[in-house]
Amino acid sequence: MARQQRLICASRDLVDGGDGTRFEMNDQQGRAPAFVIRHDGEVYAYLNRCGHVSVEMDWQPGRFRDMSGLYLICAVHGALYDPATGHCICGPCNGKGLTPLEVVEHDGEVFLMEG
């Protein structure tokens, strides 16, 4: 089956170092929460599931950054993740990173690659 692009948001919605945009996708377990952010000019998307406990991480909808703005943080127990890789930096994620999703950006819009 050919892969498809699903529109997530406009490029202008993702401010570098700012909030993320939440969306949902289908995975093996059904509907799954996810988010996309911009970091150092690039867009990155992950399932919105902490590596510690499988819960959503944002402390308010779309707020995934720690106080420094350098990392993604889980609001539940404070695990920190690298925005560009999803790798666990420190905290109770214990080396378990976020699940990356493939996104592409063109023509002023951001798309999730599906299929």
Residue type, 107: D
Single residue of 33, 62, 92, 100 touching ligand FES by CB under 6 A: 92
Q: Does residue 76 bind ligand FES (CB under 6 A)?
A: yes
Residue type, 78: G
Helix, coil or strand: residue 11? helix
Of 90, 114, 93, 103, whose CA–CA distance to 39 is shortest? 103
CB of 18 to ligand FES, least distance (A): 21
Integer-rounded Cα Rg, in Å, for the chain is 13
Total binding residues toward ligand FES, as defined by CB under 6 A:
12
Task: Tell me the C-alpha distance between 51 and 81, whole Å.
Answer: 9
Q: Does residue 52 bind ligand FES (CB under 6 A)?
A: yes
Q: Does residue 80 bind ligand FES (CB under 6 A)?
A: no
Q: Does residue 72 bind ligand FES (CB under 6 A)?
A: no
Q: What are the residues binding ligand FES (CB under 6 A)?
A: 50, 52-53, 55, 57, 74, 76-79, 91-92
